[in-house]
């Protein structure tokens, strides 16, 4: 049985550095991939003068990973790339500024459609839905981008399995990363893990403008935007500065989540953004041992809301352990087979068939 990313990272966390700490806690592991019995990763130091001193560490890391069950080969490269950025940046381009004037709503060059995935509150699985929906659309042959617009709490790098930093070779344009067939960008690719973004509204608005206009997205059929919870500056900026195809609102079935979902729907209405449909997440739970079906968060609340509003219910997604494990491992469940992947594939097919993606 192949090893996992978590097992590799746990092993690397035991590789102690000469000046203290370990490879994982010091954020030196880049481009980690596990393919069958082969593991590849890069050890990156920000001091070129220390690279030669770390060769024994590289050799120890390779030996430790090759000792893992299910691993026959480990490819470990040691690189040095100069000082680490102290603020969100793409190696020369700083992110976070006041927004600049714009003639009117416009999409980044080459992007046909923009879908906003929003919710009225956190904790309803919106980011999980956004990442899996992007992957499901890519599996249907669409050219897909994924923008993590949750500046305060970016989670897409983890969910999409991306560890390397974004780069800006010319200091003007940011080169995004590609994962699972999806072109992705997140401010999390410019931060140390655990580093907080402490900004007021104008800085957020400017950062979103940069992530839209200064990223080399290339030609895309659809850009999926993972919005933060609520109805604040990011949502306002996206709706007013781009030509949104529409919004998808995610909620769980219980009343306390639907109260806030209605606020998100009302916000999109006031901003002239069409709501393309609702998704009921964590709709049902089927016990993997006995097959009993339980509705932990209630059931059917989002469907009733969609009917009352006259908008489609795009899908009802189950609550399943596999979804959480896949997200934590950076391998969205929509990549595989089974009922969870089929549920996302069904939603993607509806969006493509309706000309929305």
Half-sphere exposure of 165 (CA within 13 A, CB side): 25
Rounded Cα gap, residues 166 and 187, in angstroms:
9
Rounded Cα gap, residues 7 and 186, in angstroms:
25
168 is in an annotated binding site: no
125 is in an annotated binding site: yes
Rounded Cα gap, residues 268 and 274, in angstroms:
7
Rounded Cα gap, residues 173 and 211, in angstroms:
10
188 is in an annotated binding site: no
Rounded Cα gap, residues 357 and 351, in angstroms:
5
49 is in an annotated binding site: no
DSSP string, 68-101: STT-SEEEEEEEE-SSPPSSSBSSS-B---PPPP
124 is in an annotated binding site: yes
Identify whether the C-beta of residue 1 lies closer than 8 Å to the C-beta of residue 35: no
Residues 6+ apart with CB under 8 A from 291: none
**Alpha carbon of 118 to those of 132, 161, 182, 205, 310: distances in Å?**
14, 22, 19, 17, 18
Rounded Cα gap, residues 11 and 8, in angstroms:
5
123 is in an annotated binding site: yes
Rounded Cα gap, residues 151 and 35, in angstroms:
31
User: Quick one: which of 180, 153, 154, 176 has its CA closest to 165?
Assistant: 176
Q: Pairing mode, if any, of strands 182-186 and 177-179?
A: antiparallel
Strand intervals (E) in 227-270: 246-251
Binding residue numbers = 120-127
Binding residue numbers for ATP = 120-127
């Amino acid at each position: 049985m192949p090893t996992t990313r978590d097992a590799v990272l746990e092993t690397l966390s035991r590789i102690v550095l000469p000046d203290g700490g370990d490879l994982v806690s010091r954020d030196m592991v880049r481009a980690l991939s596990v393919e069958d019995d082969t593991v590849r990763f890069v050890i990156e130091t920000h001091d070129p003068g220390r690279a030669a001193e770390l060769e024994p560490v590289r050799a120890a890391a390779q030996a430790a990973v090759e000792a893992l069950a299910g691993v026959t080969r480990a490819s470990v490269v040691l690189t040095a790339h100069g000082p680490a950025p102290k603020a969100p940046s793409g190696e020369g381009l700083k992110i976070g500024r006041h927004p600049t004037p714009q003639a009117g709503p416009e999409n980044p060059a080459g992007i046909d459609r923009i879908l906003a995935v929003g919710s009225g509150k956190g904790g309803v699985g919106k980011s999980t839905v956004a990442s899996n929906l992007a992957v499901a659309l890519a599996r249907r042959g669409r050219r897909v981008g994924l923008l993590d617009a949750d500046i305060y709490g970016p989670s897409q790098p983890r969910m999409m399995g991306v560890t390397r930093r974004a780069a800006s070779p010319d200091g003007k344009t940011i080169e995004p990363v590609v994962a699972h067939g999806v072109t992705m960008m997140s401010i999390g690719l410019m931060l140390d893990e655990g580093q907080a973004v402490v900004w007021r509204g104008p800085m957020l608005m400017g950062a979103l403008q940069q992530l839209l206009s200064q990223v080399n997205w290339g030609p895309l059929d659809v850009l999926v935007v993972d919005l933060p919870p609520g109805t604040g500056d990011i949502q306002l900026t996206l709706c007013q500065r781009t030509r949104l195809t529409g919004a998808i609102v995610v909620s769980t079935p219980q009343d306390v989540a639907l109260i806030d979902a209605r606020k998100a729907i009302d916000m999109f209405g006031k901003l002239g953004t069409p709501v393309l449909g609702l998704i009921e997440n964590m709709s049902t739970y089927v016990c993997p041992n006995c097959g009993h079906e339980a509705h932990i968060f209630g059931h059917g609340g989002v469907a009733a809301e969609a009917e009352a509003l006259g908008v489609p219910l795009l899908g009802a997604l189950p609550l399943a352990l596999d979804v959480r494990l896949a997200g934590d491992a950076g391998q969205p469940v929509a990549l595989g087979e089974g009922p969870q992947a089929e549920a996302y594939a069904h939603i993607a097919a509806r969006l493509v068939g309706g000309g929305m993606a």
